[in-house]
């Protein structure tokens, strides 16, 4: 955990874990599949790699790709997983 990308992507991933666990132990049948959490998890890993590569090489293109990837993960999470929607 050496770069900002490490911290941001791990925080997003931890939030995904909390939402998944909260929904899996709730009353009734879960409304979302575990597969819906795969794209943002992979997106966090890929964005983290690009961000760390950008820090290592000093290349702004890698930083831009990482930032866009993080934004895409957040958008997917908001619109598909809907963490702020009340269930039940």
Res. 26: pLDDT tops 80: no
Global confidence as pTM: 0.89
Res. 1: pLDDT tops 90: no
What does pLDDT average to over the chain? 92
Q: Taking the alpha carbons of 37, 39, 42, 43 in that order, is the dihedral positive or negative?
A: negative
- Check residue 27 and give its pLDDT: 77
* Alpha-carbon gap, residue 88 to 29, rounded angstroms: 10
Q: Taking the alpha carbons of 7, 9, 13, 18 in that order, is the dihedral positive or negative?
A: positive
List the structure tokens of 39.
């794209």
Alpha helices in the chain (DSSP H): 4-24, 38-57, 60-76
Res. 48: pLDDT tops 80: yes
Res. 53: pLDDT tops 80: yes
């Amino acid at each position: 955990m050496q770069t900002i990308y490490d911290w941001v992507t791990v925080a997003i991933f931890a939030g995904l874990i909390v939402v998944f666990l909260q929904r899996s132990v709730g009353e009734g049948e879960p409304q979302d599949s575990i597969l819906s959490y795969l794209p943002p998890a992979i997106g966090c890993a890929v964005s983290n790699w690009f961000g760390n590569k950008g820090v290592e090489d000093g290349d702004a293109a890698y930083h831009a790709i990482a930032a866009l990837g993080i934004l895409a993960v957040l958008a997917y999470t908001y619109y598909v997983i809907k963490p702020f929607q009340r269930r039940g």
